[in-house]
Structure 1
Amino acid sequence: MTAEPSRILPVIDRDSEAYWTWGREGRLAIHRCGDCGYYVHPPVPFCPQCESRKVAPEAVSGRGRVVTFTVNHKAWVPRLPVPYVLALVGIDEQNDVRIPCNIVDCAPEDVTFGMAVEAVFEPSGDLWIPLFRPVQS
């Protein structure tokens, strides 16, 4: 019997597949415009900056900074232990790309605005959930 996932899992489509699966190789995939270089997230097949259709997933550094966060003390998801941190992380490559995620591997009270973080991935079936932790030296 397979254990139930601790998170509510997304429905995967052609545009979002790389984001949810490249974590298997430890890579964070963000769509990028082939014409103007603008990063696009959530992943869509066009660039909102220049309207190009030459958009494809690209591996980024996986580094970023906590833009904002909240500490949840209520068990909104039954198998996700509380308290947990829900954050928006701006990636180093382009700060306006904001990834909603959990901050892990540190106490919730240690999370701060602007904290440097790096991507880690939690396997769940065929998916690899992008999470972030404080940068390891």
Structure 2
Amino acid sequence: MNRDQVAALPVPAISIDSLEFWKSGSDGQLRITRCDDCQLWIYPPKPICRRCRSQAVSYEPVQGRGRIFSYTISRQQFLPGVSDPYAIAVVTLDEDPDLRMTARVVADDLTRLHIGMPVTIEFEERNDMWIPVVAPTGEEDPQ
């Protein structure tokens, strides 16, 4: 996907609860909300823990590494200005097997994607936001 096509992708709606998430990638570090009381990772960002209902929630850095849990490749043009195939993946982050996020995959060859593929988080800057995307690490699967 070229730079013009990336610029044509929609940007997420930002709320007061998610602003720090969308800005935090400016230093290359992914930060996820976490409950200060029960330590539950909370994604997408929310001001209240879904497990213990605590309002003591803060952003913590994560390694930014994980594995593809599921993915889809879109070959149909749904958005004006975006004609190349692109992939969206649900990624399990290394911090917790239940911590999953959805992101666009940045890869030269989308046909090589597979469940369990190791990925790393990268960022694309758009409209003063830092959008997390995932890229294959190139490491071999131990499976």
TM-score clears 0.5: yes
- For structure 2, the residue ranges without an aligned partner over 5 or more in a row are none
What CA distance in whole angstroms lies between the structure 2 residues aligned with 1:29 and 1:77?
29
Between structures 1 and 2, the one with greater strand share: 1
1:15 aligned counterpart, secondary structure:
coil
Which region of structure 1 is more displaced relative to structure 2, 66-75 or 12-21?
Answer: 12-21
Displacement of 1:106: 3.2
Aligned counterparts of 1:109 and 1:51: Cα–Cα separation in 2:
42
Matched, 1:74 2:76: yes
Residue in 2 aligned with 1:90?
A: 92
Cα-Cα RMSD: 1.7
For this pair of structures, how many residues does the alignment match? 135
Offset of residue 135 of structure 1: 1.6
- Structure 2 residue 63 is matched with structure 1 residue 50: no
**Larger mean Cα displacement after TM superposition, 64-73 or 10-19:** 10-19
Equivalent position SS for 1:24 = helix
User: Secondary structure at 1:19's aligned position in 2?
Assistant: helix
State the Cα distance separating 1:5 from its structure 2 match. Answer: 2.5
1:1-12 paired onto structure 2 within 5 Å = 5-12=7-14
| 2:24 matched residue in structure 1 | 22
* In structure 2, C-alpha distance between the alignment counterparts of 1:64 and 1:79, rounded to whole Å: 30
Match of 2:118 in 1: 116
Task: After the TM superposition, list the runs of 4 or more consecutive aligned residues in structure 1 that deviate by more than 3 angstroms.
Answer: none
Amino acid aligned to 1:126 = D
Displacement of 1:81 after TM fit?
A: 4.0
Can you give the 5+ residue segments of structure 1 that lack an aligned partner in the other structure? none
- Cα displacement (A) at 1:136: 5.2
Q: Percent identity?
A: 35
1:107 maps to 2:80: no
Whole-angstrom CA distance in 2 between matches of 1:18 and 1:81: 31
